[in-house]
């Protein structure tokens, strides 16, 4: 049996991506453009991108809200799920990132489905009108509870809410952590567990992005 090392997690992840996801010129180009622009490689993995895409299709999502566009990688996965009449509204704080994402999304052929709103999500969210069928939260972890609150306000019973990066290499075990991202993540998990608007669970993940995880909720 292979040892449970981060190297082997990544190798298995690559095998799964090769076997189940394949390679796609538009997605590969989006990653290249993101890297060339100096953005960090913190986009979702290929298997996670397809997971989001399938969740959107399984739930029949036509209106998707994404908080945290980065280079548009997950945005493209989501946009491919909503159909010709569907829309993804995606919020990005950095105008330079949004410009790169816009090009990649257009080049992927889903430009008509994607509305990028540039600004701090806490400022943009109050300007949006629901209802959204699926909300993917993948931005600054410190604001996760604010984003969950907006997801609940802009959704409807049955809306799917996905929150990225809930594992943080196990750092969430340290409830006294001085890392504000860990505290933001812990607060979000507590909210998902206690706020009656959500019915939630979470899965840890290992792979090319290390040891992390994703929370999944439905709005009551």
- Whether 39 and 31 have beta carbons less than 8 Å apart is answered as no
List beta partners, residue 66.
90, 136
Please state the closest distance from residue 73 (CB atom) to Mg ion, in A. 10
Among 21, 138, 147, 205, binds Mg ion (CB under 5 A): 138
- The site string for Mg ion over 146-175 (x = CB under 5 A, - otherwise) reads ------------------xx----------
Binder of residue 31, out of ligand DHB, Mg ion, none (CB less than 5 to 8 A by kind): none
CA–chain centroid gap for 177, Å, is: 24
Q: Which is nearer to ligand DHB, 86 or 100 (CB)?
A: 100
- Whether 71 and 42 have beta carbons less than 8 Å apart is answered as no
Alpha helices in the chain (DSSP H): 6-16, 25-36, 46-58, 73-79, 95-107, 121-124, 144-154, 180-194
Binder of residue 143, out of Mg ion, ligand DHB, none (CB less than 5 to 8 A by kind): none
Please state the closest distance from residue 165 (CB atom) to Mg ion, in A. 4
Question: Helix (H, G, I), strand (E, B), or coil: what is residue 105?
Answer: helix
Binder of residue 13, out of Mg ion, ligand DHB, none (CB less than 5 to 8 A by kind): none
Q: How many CB atoms are closer than 10 A to CB 47? A: 18
* Interaction of residue 90 with ligand DHB, rule CB under 6 A: no
* Interaction of residue 42 with ligand DHB, rule CB under 6 A: yes
Please state the closest distance from residue 81 (CB atom) to Mg ion, in A. 18
- Whether 122 and 145 have beta carbons less than 8 Å apart is answered as no
- Whether 164 and 171 have beta carbons less than 8 Å apart is answered as no
* Range 147-166, binding ligand DHB (CB under 6 A): 164-165
Q: Which is nearer to ligand DHB, 12 or 42 (CB)?
A: 42
* Interaction of residue 92 with Mg ion, rule CB under 5 A: no
Q: Phi and psi for 146 in degrees, rounded to 5? A: -65, -45
Please state the closest distance from residue 185 (CB atom) to ligand DHB, in A. 10
Binding site for ligand DHB (CB under 6 A): 42, 138, 164-165
């Amino acid at each position: 049996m292979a040892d449970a090392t981060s190297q082997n997690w990544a190798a298995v992840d690559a095998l799964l991506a090769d076997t189940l996801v394949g390679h796609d010129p538009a997605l590969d180009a989006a990653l290249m453009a993101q890297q060339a622009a100096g953005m960090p490689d913190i986009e979702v993995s290929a298997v996670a991108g397809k997971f989001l895409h399938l969740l959107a299709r399984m739930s029949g999502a036509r209106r998707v809200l994404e908080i945290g566009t980065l280079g548009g990688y997950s945005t493209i996965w989501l946009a491919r799920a909503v159909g010709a009449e569907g829309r993804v509204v995606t919020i990005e704080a950095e105008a330079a990132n949004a410009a790169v994402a816009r090009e990649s999304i257009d080049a992927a052929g889903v430009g008509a489905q994607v509305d990028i709103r540039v600004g701090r999500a806490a400022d943009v969210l109050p300007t949006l009108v629901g209802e959204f069928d699926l909300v993917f939260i993948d931005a600054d972890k410190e604001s996760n509870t604010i984003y969950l609150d907006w997801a609940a306000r802009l959704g409807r019973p049955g809306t799917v809410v996905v929150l990225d990066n809930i594992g943080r290499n196990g750092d969430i075990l340290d409830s006294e952590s001085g890392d504000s991202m860990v505290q933001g993540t812990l607060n979000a998990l507590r909210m998902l567990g206690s706020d009656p608007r959500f019915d939630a669970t979470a899965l840890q993940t290992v792979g090319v992005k290390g040891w992390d995880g994703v929370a999944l909720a439905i709005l009551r």
